[in-house]
Amino acid sequence: MLILEDKIYLHFQKTGGLSIYKIINDLKLKKQWFREHCGIVNLPEEFRHLRRFSFIRNPYDWYVSYYHFHLNGYLERKDHWINPFLIPLAGDSPNFHKFVKNSCNLKSYFQDNLDRYELLFEMLEHILLNNPHIWVHDWFKDTSNIREELSLDKLDMSLMHWCMNMIGLCEDNTTIYKMEYFKESLEKEFGLIERVPHLHTSMHNKYQCYYNAELISAVTESHAHILDEYDYKF
């Protein structure tokens, strides 16, 4: 999250955030407050009146980018705690199909693994203590006792929808642009931009290469509201 004099940029993961920060720095705009992946609950009260903007991405494409970003971290450090949906059980290997199925409904994923994953609570505690993103800290304070039905109900959504909620994309007073029109949308906010840098990108093929019919159906069903609202298709 980056607060400027007249607006707030909400950084939704894997939608060009570092490129936007670079553009804002190059334009030498005055920054009032900054935390990269800060949740909306951390927005200081004195700035809540400001309008907000952010970007969204086709869910099918977003999962491919999200997966490969975390996969690269796993391959570099062999750390099973990097993402509980990428490495769902200790000893498993990264698998895109498993990742997407787990991510389509977080409540179902955790329900299915409560009894057979003895390290689940240790995993949650580890994420809470070690994840650098403050929105994860605040969210897990309310959901750390995941055996309670109330905590599980807070997870009754897809990973993408959960991230959108935490960042604040589901609140009013927010303009949400489609990443497919990245440069044009940024120019609506900041005026003419000569060049858009592409930073922190993950290397992968076109997203269509990673899906089969079953996976397409799973994402289509669990993300219907996002697909309809933003006119996204596979």
Q: What's the token pair of residue 82?
A: 């990097």
Residues with pLDDT less than 70, the chain: 37, 73-93, 113-151, 200
Query: In angstroms, rounded to a whole number, what is the distance separating the alpha carbons of residues 133 and 118?
Result: 25
Q: Residue 70: enclosing H or E segment and its boundaries?
A: helix 59-77
pLDDT computed for residue 154 by the predictor: 74
Task: For residue range 53-71, list pLDDT tens digits in order.
Answer: 999 999 999 999 988 887 7
pLDDT computed for residue 149 by the predictor: 54
Say what angle helices 159-167 and 59-77 make with each other, to 10 degrees: 90
| Whole-prediction pTM | 0.83
- Which residue matches tokens 């004099």? 5
Query: In angstroms, rounded to a whole number, what is the distance separating the alpha carbons of residues 13 and 168?
Result: 12
CA terminus-to-terminus distance, the chain: 29
pLDDT computed for residue 90 by the predictor: 44
Looking at the DSSP bridge assignments, the partners of residue 174 are: 52
Query: In angstroms, rounded to a whole number, what is the distance separating the alpha carbons of residues 218 and 37?
Result: 27
Cα distances (Å, whole numbers) of residue 205 to 62, 118, 133, 140, 141: 13, 36, 28, 33, 37
Rg of the chain over all Cα atoms, to the nearest angstrom: 18
Backbone conformation region of residue 156, classed left if phi is above 0, alpha if psi is from -120 to 50, else beta: beta
Query: In angstroms, rounded to a whole number, what is the distance separating the alpha carbons of residues 204 and 180?
Result: 17
Task: For residue range 79-99, list pLDDT tens digits in order.
Answer: 544 455 555 544 566 788 988
